[in-house]
Amino acid sequence: SHLKAFVASLHKLQENEVMTDVTLILPDQSAIQCHRVVLMAASPFFETMFQSGLKEGTEQDIKLDFADTGTIRSLVKFFYTGDIKLTAENIKAIVAGSEFLCCEHLKAHCEEFLMGNVGLSSCIDNYQFGKVFNLKVLIKTAFDFILSKFREYREISNFDKLTEDELAEVVSCDRLNVENEDVVFEAVVHWVNADPDVREEVFPRIAPLIRFPFCTKTMLSDKICCSSLVLKSECIQLAHEAVWSQFHLNCRPPSDNARCIPRPSFHSNRSLFRIVETKSANKVSLSVRVTTLPWRPVDLDGSTLAFIDGKIFAFGGGPPSKSVKSINLKESNPEWKSEQEMLQAEKNPLIVQFADKVYAFGGWGTKVTQEFDPALNEWRMRSQMPGRCYGGSTVALGDKIYVVGGSQRVCYSYDPNNDEW
């Protein structure tokens, strides 16, 4: 509405033949006769210039060289008419010009144009361009597109033009859409091979972000463990630990089409098991080393672990127990501490955090729902589950909690606010 009123006032200026009072000298030495009041109303850049009291603001002729002649003419025309033709060829120059002239409304209009043209051929370019000019919505749109199409990384133009930080941001994201982690490893290798002289030394910093335990066994044994890049970078430890986890910790690749499982810390400094590679007489052998932990593990038999408010919690136990213990690994000498016990003894309860409370569902053979309020440090019983769910999963989504799977193959939803299943 402000723009329409402004354009109407310009028409009045033209109808009354109000004299121009400033001349813009363009890079090709051509000139545009303008009205100071129009430039000031359209651009904070010109408003500051003309009101600063400096010499340049009082001169009749003003030289402009922040963009090419065609771009400046398009911007001035926009100031007078409110119309501008955006194309794939001129959009970047128009964004840069609107940034220079502080025209946020035009910059936002350009952002909408760019968002409508995000695709396999432009998502990387738009993602990086958006960061240069702080186009936050464009950045998110392009980034989400990259995540959703990552399995087609070979079709994404300029994929190998991602910086190290940008690739790390993409690879580490839980929303990365891949069938399994094989694609992630291959994409990282593809990126490294685009500039091996520089990027081979970057690989050890990217490799820990690849969730090797969720690669297929064939990929691990036939390609990753034999990869010269992995061997030269001394990242073979990650691959060996992934093989160990798959065979001995029953870790399997995700079966759906979205990468939604957090990376396990099998190669962290606090791993219980570590694969040790030894070489002698041109022979390589593997052995298992037990790493000494800086804290004593809790008895995990029958308990459920959860990460809540910066601490690890262990709920229940076997035989069924009311026990709740926590440990804060950020403390200098972390130790397990006893917390407020549950009201009902449980073995392997399903645990989920919802808003400011924690919920424990069922366990071995029970349908009990228990709610813990950290602020009051107390448990209370809530409505029982419709049926048992042992070995299932639970997640808070929207305004409900869902209990899914288990040996009973159930799917229940629970409304914590109304205590209704």
- What pLDDT is recorded for position 396? 92
In this prediction, residue 11 carries a pLDDT of: 56
Query: Residue 209: its pLDDT value, please?
Result: 94
Q: What is the CATH number of domain 304-414?
A: 2.120.10.80
CA–CA distances in Å: residue 200 to residues 188, 196, 234, 403: 11, 5, 11, 45
Task: Please say if the pLDDT value at position 410 is more than 50.
Answer: yes
d(CA 152, CA 148): 9
Contact present, 144 and 174 (Cβ < 8 Å):
no
Share of residues in the chain with pLDDT > 90 (%): 60
Structure tokens at 142: 């392009």
3-class DSSP string for the chain: CHHHHHHHHHHHHHHCCCCCCEEEECCCCCEEEECHHHHHHHCHHHHHHHHCCCHHHCCCEEECCCCCHHHHHHHHHHHHHCCCCCCCCCHHHHHHHHHHCCCHHHHHHHHHHHHCCCCCCCHHHHHHHHHHCCCHHHHHHHHHHHHHCHHHHHHCCCHHHCCHHHHHHHHCCCCCCCCCHHHHHHHHHHHHHCCHHHHCCCHHHHHHHCCHHHCCHHHHHHHHCCCHHHHHCCCHHHHHHHHHHHHHCCCCCCCCCCCCCCCCCCCCCCCCEEEEEEEECCEEEEEEEECCCCCCCCCCCCCEEEEECCEEEEECCCCCECCEEEECCCCCCCCCEECCCCCCCECCCEEEEECCEEEEECCCCCCCEEEEECCCCEEEEECCCCCCCCCEEEEEECCEEEEEECCCCEEEEEECCCCEC
Token output for 389: 């769910």
Helices and strands: H and E segment counts in the chain: 15, 16
Whether the CB-CB separation of 24 and 72 falls below 8 Å is answered with yes
pLDDT at res. 195 = 96
Average pLDDT over residues 230-235: 84
Whether the predicted pLDDT of 408 surpasses 50: yes
What local confidence, expressed as pLDDT, does residue 211 receive? Answer: 92
The CA distance from 361 to 370, in Å, is 7
User: Higher model confidence: residue 392 or residue 167?
Assistant: 167
The residue count for the chain? 421
What is the C-alpha to C-alpha distance for residues 211 and 232, in angstroms, rounded to an integer?
19
365 or 389: whose pLDDT is higher?
A: 389
The confidence score (pLDDT) of residue 306 equals: 84
pLDDT at res. 15? 47
Dihedral, CA of residue 10, residue 15, residue 17 and residue 19, to nearest 10: 0
Q: Is residue 49 helix, strand or coil?
A: helix
When pLDDT is averaged across residues 244-261 and rounded to a whole number, the result is 51
- Residue 76: how many other CB atoms lie within 10 Å: 19
Token pair recorded at residue 71: 């771009």
Better pLDDT: 56 or 123: 123
Q: What pLDDT, on the 0 to 100 scale, is given for residue 173?
A: 93
pLDDT tens for each residue of 8-56? 555 555 544 458 889 999 999 999 999 999 999 999 999 999 998 777 7
Per-residue pLDDT for 395 more than 60? yes
CB 301 within 8 A of CB 321: no
Identify the residue with better confidence: 296 or 160.
Answer: 160
Averaged pLDDT for residues 179-205: 95
The answer to whether residue 87 scores a pLDDT higher than 80 is yes
Least confident stretch, 49-58, 78-87, 238-247: 238-247
Q: Which CATH number fits domain 132-261: 3.30.70.260, 1.20.1250.20, 1.10.540.10, 1.25.40.420?
A: 1.25.40.420
Average pLDDT, the chain: 84
pLDDT at residue 64 is higher than 90: yes
Give dist(CA 337, CA 343) in Å, integer. 18
Residue 54 confidence (pLDDT): 75
- Give the range with max mean pLDDT: 285-289, 294-298, 373-377: 373-377
**Tokens coding 283:** 């022979």
Fold exhibited by the domain 2-117: Potassium Channel Kv1.1; Chain A (3.30.710)
Of the pLDDT bands very low, low, confident and very high (cuts 50, 70, 90), residue 130 is very high
Domain ranges of the chain: 2-117, 132-261, 304-414
pTM here is 0.58
pLDDT tens by residue, 328-378: 877 878 888 999 999 999 998 999 999 989 999 998 879 999 999 988 989
pLDDT tens for each residue of 65-74 = 999 999 999 9
Residue 118 — pLDDT band, cuts 50, 70, 90?
Answer: very high
Q: Is the dihedral of CA 11, 14, 19, 23 positive or negative?
A: positive
The string of DSSP letters for 93-131 reads: HHHHHHHHTT-HHHHHHHHHHHHTT-STTTHHHHHHHHH
